[in-house]
Structure 1
Amino acid sequence: MHPRHIVISGAGIAGLTAAIAFARRGFAVRILERAAALEEVGAGLQISPNATRILSRLGVLDIVAPLTVRPEAVVLRDATTLKERARVPLGASAERRWKAPYLVAHRADLQSALLARANEIDSIELSLGTSVTDVQLRSDGITVSFDQNGISSEVSASLFVAADGVWSHSRRLVGPNEKSRFSGSLAWRTTLLADSDAGRHFAAFSSPETVTTYLHGGFHLVAYPIRAASAINLAAFTPGRAITEHWAGETSPDALRQAMRDAAPQLAELADKAAPWTIWPLHTVDASRPWTSPGGIALIGDAAHAMTPFAAQGAAMAVEDAYMLADAVASATNTAQALSQWEAARKPRVAKVARRGALNHFAWNASGPVALARNLFLKLKSPDSLAADMDWLYGWTPPGWADDGAL
């Protein structure tokens, strides 16, 4: 057995962050990734201060920073009139308030930065084209069986970390084999080059320097710059039916065009001008179910608690999970106790974030009297007051942060 050996399933944001965090604490780490190559998938994401401060501590932020954008504000606009309803200051103001930057980036750029950092650490080994086939709990640890290029092998470890996403194959290891559930919402995603016709069309009525959410009873659309402001990430959300459990290809914008038909003409035209769109059914995972097994298994990120993106915290929660798990295991003499304490500490925060996302979704898609009440509420809130409402989320730091040493 290797008492300080960690095996991680999945080389996404959660898995790579966990690998770096564990290596930083003196563990040897083996990452098993099913994909034969880490391809550029996904779309834009928001990296709030609660995540960037951790990424900075892990030596990742400086790598990804040149490809990110530091937006000036989060802005809420009416999709029909384009009138601004609220503004939360970001940029330098956010960094002063929350002691870390608020950034936006392409998911692939963050994953690449995490991979580059992991490759700098000798105690991390990444195996691509490798599928976990079995995990056996033993009295002296764990044996992980895997298949790589048709060859079956196994490795012993003290902990198995499942970071294999919303459609996790490892979730069954800590409880009933419950699958993720369709949330009822579809995400429509696309990226515009800033200097393209569609990019210039967007810039003519919206600020490319902010994270802007357009509010409407039938949809909402979030837009922000990525890749050093050379591109614009668009994500529209509509009600719909579950259609697939993987990224689709080019998708007809007919349903999105119908949802946006009552929006301001400039905004509605994006349904066609910004095509092709990638459509994604939003699935969630019941976060109240077990995340750990006392024998030495832990689920992190979407494998444990996939949530809708309406609080823009999916990546941030994965980063928090990974960092805190490594700290908990490194600081304890009993792995089972460490896992139990980590799960108990994480669940209330993740649940609060999910509730915030549900509130945002309700407010952003409100109509009629509810939308009028929302607008009045936002009118009475100052930008500083709206920022203060997010202190609990963006201002969070891991317990014992001041005592934590550097790599």
Structure 2
Amino acid sequence: MDSFMITISALLAMKAYQPRIAVIGGGPGGLTLALLLHKHNIPVTVFELRPRPTETEFTQPAGMLDLHEESGLAAIRACDLMEEFNSHTGVCSEAQIIATKDGKVIYSEDGGPESRPEISRNSLGKILYDRLPEAAVRWGFKLSSAKQVTATDGGTEIELDFGSKGEYTFDFVVGSDGTWSKVRKMLTDTKPTYSGIQLMNLTIRGITSKYPELAAYIGTGTFTCLGQQHGVMSQRGLHDSARLYLCFKKADEQYSATAGIRGAPPAQARDRLLHDDALLGRFGPKIKELVQVAYAEEAEHSPDAEPAIVPLYVLPPGHRWEHQTGVTVIGDAAHVMLPFAAEGVNLAMRDALDVADVIIKATETAKGDRARFHRLLDLSIEGYEVQMAERAKEKADEADQNARMMFGFEDGATAMADWMNAAMQAAMEQAEPPKIMME
């Protein structure tokens, strides 16, 4: 009888205790983590700053993301989302075109040796969100601060302050809240620093139907024009769109304001971009036409919007911190890096996969024992943070090398095309890819 009662008590304890998990940030990394925990019946709450997107907003053109086998695609498979994922690919092909600043195409290929399918950021967010219970994501919550507090049993909890929306306490908090993460502040005083590169986004809608010559010129995938330590890049997107990225290497972090572009009327800012030799003034007519059309499309679609040049920031590659109980970070919150290796979302989803695995194993092994769960989780999360930092350092170094290749030469296009040719040759010979040689 005593054994029977002990067994019943253990079962009741297991049923009564569920770890309280919070994820701050509803981007691909945060939603991936939440979905993986939900699949294993572990309650999780995602707090996202944005209001809930409408169905129409989920289908709007956005940046394209190429997912990699060992990271993004591995997470998609773990979420059982390959069928949905595949139905959203094909909008942007894996083709690559490289052109000089004069507009001359010097490199073109249909895709590399590895398959890295492209998906819209909005489409990826939707397929992840659609698999979660409606109540799992709380939209419109801005985190003011997070701190450790002592629980009634002497353990550690994390208190989240959302200002007028209240305070909430959790056993474990995962920060997926981006470059200026509030959760990361609990772990380290290190802040992102200016990378020396600035970026502007523009979108051309209906490019094939309205601008067939430009559509043929930039191709069906990724187009990259480099020169004078600047760049004009594009990717094809949803609804026959093309997303343009204008990149400028500038030592002045506040260049947009200093140059009189920020706050200027759109037409004046456009003319400055196209005619100033320190920007795109020395680029060829085809490239200028691409930018001019993009400006016109932005003005028609969002007449009140003001396209802005914004600085890009980075954390030191391999950045680490002293582990703290009850909290960790993933994605950009852990390792802000330049976007020129296409690794940001992939690392975020790989991080989410690893953190989910730790939480799931700790939950299953603890069998309802709260203290044991926390001990197991704390030990394993510390190990995750070490591995994550090593993995992120490799990719951050790669992104930095690519940026120096693209924007470190007067003729970045030729440098990039030469490297791509050598890399393709090495892949065919199954050899190591070439090192990037800098001046």
TM-score grouping bracket, smaller chain normalisation: 0.7 to 0.9
Change in Cα spacing, 1:244 to 1:367, as seen in structure 2 (3 Å) is closer
| Alignment-derived partner of residue 367 in structure 1 | 409
Aligned with 2:398 (options 356, 365, 368): 356
8 Å CA contact 2:64, 2:235 repeated in 1:
no
| Alignment-derived partner of residue 216 in structure 1 | 227
Change in Cα spacing, 1:338 to 1:253, as seen in structure 2 (3 Å) is farther
Distance in 2, matches of 1:273 and 1:379, equals 31
| Alignment-derived partner of residue 173 in structure 1 | 186
| Alignment-derived partner of residue 94 in structure 1 | 114
| Alignment-derived partner of residue 83 in structure 1 | 105
Following TM superposition, by how much is the alpha carbon of 1:55 offset from its aligned partner in structure 2, in angstroms? 1.5
Aligned with 1:71 (options 87, 93, 96): 93
Distance in 2, matches of 1:194 and 1:146, equals 44
Distance in 2, matches of 1:65 and 1:390, equals 30
8 Å CA contact 1:87, 1:383 repeated in 2:
no
- C-alpha distance after superposition, 1:125-161 (max 9, x if no partner): 222232334332434241323337x34242332x110
- Correspondence list, 1:197-208, <5 A: 199-207=211-219
8 Å CA contact 1:80, 1:263 repeated in 2:
yes
| Alignment-derived partner of residue 31 in structure 2 | 16
1:105 and 2:119 equivalent? Answer: yes
Change in Cα spacing, 1:38 to 1:72, as seen in structure 2 (3 Å) is closer
| Alignment-derived partner of residue 194 in structure 1 | 206
| Alignment-derived partner of residue 294 in structure 2 | 274
Aligned length: 373
Which residue identity lines up with residue 169 of structure 1 in the other structure? K
| Alignment-derived partner of residue 236 in structure 1 | 246
| Alignment-derived partner of residue 130 in structure 1 | 141
Following TM superposition, by how much is the alpha carbon of 1:383 offset from its aligned partner in structure 2, in angstroms? 5.3
Change in Cα spacing, 1:266 to 1:85, as seen in structure 2 (3 Å) is same
Following TM superposition, by how much is the alpha carbon of 1:214 offset from its aligned partner in structure 2, in angstroms? 1.7
Distance in 2, matches of 1:42 and 1:137, equals 43
DSSP 3-state at the match of 1:213: strand
Distance in 1, matches of 2:321 and 2:140, equals 26
- Give RMSD over aligned pairs: 3.4
Identity %: 20
Note the residue ranges of structure 2 that are not aligned, 5 or more in a row.
1-15, 257-261, 299-306, 363-372, 434-439
| Alignment-derived partner of residue 159 in structure 2 | 144
Note the residue ranges of structure 1 that are not aligned, 5 or more in a row.
96-101, 392-407
Normalized per residue, which structure has more helix? 2
| Alignment-derived partner of residue 270 in structure 2 | 253
1:262 and 2:282 equivalent? Answer: yes
Distance in 2, matches of 1:171 and 1:59, equals 30
DSSP 3-state at the match of 2:391: helix
Following TM superposition, by how much is the alpha carbon of 1:11 offset from its aligned partner in structure 2, in angstroms? 1.2
| Alignment-derived partner of residue 20 in structure 2 | 5
1:302 and 2:317 equivalent? Answer: no
Task: Provide the TM-score with structure 1 as the length reference.
Answer: 0.79
1:163 and 2:137 equivalent? Answer: no
Aligned with 1:316 (options 339, 342, 346): 346
Which residue identity lines up with residue 165 of structure 1 in the other structure? G
Aligned with 2:68 (options 18, 30, 49): 49
Distance in 2, matches of 1:167 and 1:281, equals 13
Task: Provide the TM-score with structure 2 as the length reference.
Answer: 0.74
Change in Cα spacing, 1:65 to 1:55, as seen in structure 2 (3 Å) is same
| Alignment-derived partner of residue 403 in structure 1 | none
